[in-house]
């Protein structure tokens, strides 16, 4: 298993909705037998450039251990969450 970090920018519209999205993200990672090692809710920050007509976004970081074969499945599942403006995976 390799170590990864994922950074998510979530639509900042509704605080309750943000918590639901974070729970969905964590559940997706855990459902693929990944081990979460660190989570951090950074909060709402100004974006460097406008993304999907949003000038601010809620940032969420997560570190986890994952088998590389799972990366594609997890990415597809994250793409179905319309509240996520943008995300990126980084191998540590």
Tell whether the model's pLDDT for residue 6 goes beyond 90. yes
| CATH number assigned to the domain comprising residue 76 | 3.30.70.60
Percent helix, percent strand, percent coil in the chain, to nearest 5: 30, 50, 15
3-state secondary structure string across 17-43: HHHHHHHHHHHHHHHCCCEEEEEEEEE
First to last CA, the chain: 12
Task: Please report the pLDDT score of residue 15 as a whole number.
Answer: 87
Tokens 């799972």 correspond to what residue? 70
pTM of the model: 0.93
Domain carrying residue 45:
2-91
Domain count, the chain: 1
Task: Please report the pLDDT score of residue 87 as a whole number.
Answer: 97
The average confidence (pLDDT) of the chain is 95
On whether the CB atoms of residues 89 and 6 are closer than 8 A, the answer is: yes
Task: Please report the pLDDT score of residue 14 as a whole number.
Answer: 87
pLDDT digits (tens, 9 = 90+) for 16-52: 899 999 999 999 999 999 999 999 999 999 999 999 9
Residue 68 banded pLDDT, cuts 50, 70, 90: confident
Token pair, residue 9, equals 């920018």
Q: What percent of the chain has pLDDT over 70?
A: 100
């Amino acid at each position: 298993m390799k170590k990864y970090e994922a950074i998510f920018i979530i639509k900042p519209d509704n605080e309750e909705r943000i918590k639901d999205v974070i729970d969905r993200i964590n559940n997706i990672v855990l459902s693929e037998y990944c081990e979460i090692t660190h989570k951090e809710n950074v909060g709402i920050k100004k974006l460097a450039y406008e993304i999907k007509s949003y000038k601010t976004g809620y940032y969420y970081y997560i570190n986890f251990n994952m088998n590389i074969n799972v990366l594609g499945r997890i990415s597809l599942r994250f793409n179905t969450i319309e509240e996520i403006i943008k995300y990126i995976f980084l191998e540590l």
